[in-house]
Amino acid sequence: MMNVMTYKGYKARVEFDPRDNIFVGRVLGIEDGISFHGTTVAALKESFAAAINHYLADCKAMCRKPEKPASGKLMLRIAPEIHTKALVMARASGKSLNQWATEVLAKAAHSTR
């Protein structure tokens, strides 16, 4: 099970580092590397908020637009044969292509750890 925290729309994966006896978090879904840590859950939450706030302030100071987590809109270019097969599968399950693709992608995303 992946432990995820959310702050201002940013999500971070949290793991425990037994060697250093701390929680370590890494922000997901953006290319800028943001990490943080804490010895308690409260300290971890505070460190996460501070890391995001620092990132946003730094971007503003550098006149750079901060990366945003994924919007939920996904555009794909696929072979027409795959598109047709996906439409058939979606209709056969009584779903729209969007509903069907969302389920398939969600299953695939959860199966890789």
Is 73 part of a structural domain of the chain?
A: no
Q: Is residue 84 located within the same domain as residue 40?
A: no
pLDDT at 31 over 90: no
Q: Does residue 51 fall inside a structural domain?
A: yes
pTM greater than 0.75: no
Radius of gyration of the chain (CA): 19
Domain-located, residue 104? yes
Residue 24 counted as domain residue: yes
Residue carrying the six token digits 């598109």: 83
Is residue 84 a part of any domain in this protein?
A: yes
**Residue 98 has what pLDDT?**
87
CA–CA separation, 2 vs 15, rounded Å? 8
Tell me how far apart the alpha carbons of residues 89 and 99 are, in angstroms, rounded to a whole number: 11
Give the other-Cβ count within 10 Å of 45's Cβ. Answer: 17
Give residue 30's pLDDT: 87
Residue 37 is assigned to a structural domain of this protein: yes
9 and 56 fall within a common domain: yes
Within 10 Å of residue 23's Cβ, how many Cβ atoms?
22
Supply the range of the domain harboring residue 96: 80-111
Q: Are 94 and 53 contained in the same domain? A: no
**How many domains does one find in the chain?**
2
Rounded Cα distance between 22 and 64, Å, is: 32
What is the pLDDT, as a whole number, of residue 109?
A: 83
CB atoms within 10 A of CB 48: 25
When the pLDDT of each residue in the chain is averaged and rounded to a whole number, the result is 90
Assigned domain for 90 exists: yes
